[in-house]
Amino acid sequence: MTNALARLLEIAPAPSEPRTKDWSEIETTLGTELPSDYKEFICVFGGSYWDDYLYVLEPECPNDNYDLLEYARDQAEALEGLWEFEKKPAELEVEGNHVIPWATTDNGESLYWLVQPGQNPDQWTVMVNEARGDRWEHFAMSCTQFLASSLDEEIQSNILSSLYPQTPHEFSRVEML
C-alpha cells in the first residue's frame, strides 16, 4: 500500500465491498497501462466523490457519467478540438505527450495524468485544467499523492474551488443515478 493510499484511508474509511477489475482488459481498451497506485485506489474506494466536489473516475463505473473509459474518449476528442483555438500547455507541446483524465469536479475542472512516451505509468504526474478556460497547472506527483495532499491542504490548486477541501471531509462511492 502506498503512503498516499494509507493517508486517504485515514481521511475516509474504506467501503466494505472492494471493487474488482479486469485491468488487462481495461488497459487494452484504453491503449495503455494505468498507474498501480490508481488501480489500488479503485480497488479500495472505487469511483468516488470527495468533499462534495471532486469525482475520481472509475473504469466500468456504475454511474456512466464517471466511467474512466468513456470520459477519456470524450476528453481526447474535446481537447483535439480545443487545440485549434487555444495554446497547449508547455507540457503538451512536447512531441508524443498527452493527457488522460482521472478525475473531474462539480464545476467541470478536469484532472489528468501527464503521459510521456516510454514513461512508466507509475511516474505519471498530475495536470489540472480549469473548466472554461486555458489555465493549466502541473503537479509533480501521482494522482493518489495529489488527492491526499489536496485533502490534507499540503498543496493547493489555484484552479480548483477555494471551497475544496471541506472540514470535516466527506466521501461517498459513485453509484448508479
Into how many domains does the chain fold?
A: 1
Q: What is the pLDDT of residue 177?
A: 54
Q: What is the pLDDT of residue 124?
A: 98
Q: State the DSSP code for 7.
A: H
Q: Which residues contact 22 (CB under 8 A, 6 or more apart)?
A: none
Compute the distance between CA of residue 85 and CA of residue 121 in angstroms, rounded to an integer: 29
Q: What is the pLDDT of residue 26?
A: 96
Average pLDDT over residues 163-175: 92
Is the pLDDT higher at 176 or at 34? 34
| Sole residue written with cell 503521459 | 115
How many residues would you count in the chain?
177
Q: Tens digit of pLDDT for each residue in 62-100?
A: 899 999 999 999 999 888 888 888 889 999 999 999 999
Q: What is the pLDDT of residue 86?
A: 84
Read off the CATH number of the domain in which 164 is found: 3.40.1580.10
| Sole residue written with cell 476528442 | 77
Q: Tens digit of pLDDT for each residue in 122-157?
A: 999 999 999 988 899 999 999 999 999 999 999 999
Q: Report the candidate in 84, 73, 17, 78 with the shortest Cα–Cα distance to residue 44.
A: 17
Of the listed ranges 12-16, 105-109, 117-121, 167-171, the one predicted with least confidence:
12-16
Residue 70 contacts residue 58 (beta carbons within 8 Å):
no
Q: Which residues contact 150 (CB under 8 A, 6 or more apart)?
A: 156, 157, 160, 164, 165
Band of pLDDT at residue 176, cut at 50, 70 and 90: low
Q: What is the pLDDT of residue 81?
A: 85
Q: Report the candidate in 127, 121, 160 with the shortest Cα–Cα distance to residue 34.
A: 121
Average pLDDT over residues 19-29: 95
Structural domain boundaries, residue 11: 3-173
% of the chain surpassing 90 pLDDT: 81
% of the chain surpassing 70 pLDDT: 99
Residue 104 has pLDDT above 90, yes or no: yes
Is the pLDDT higher at 76 or at 103? 103
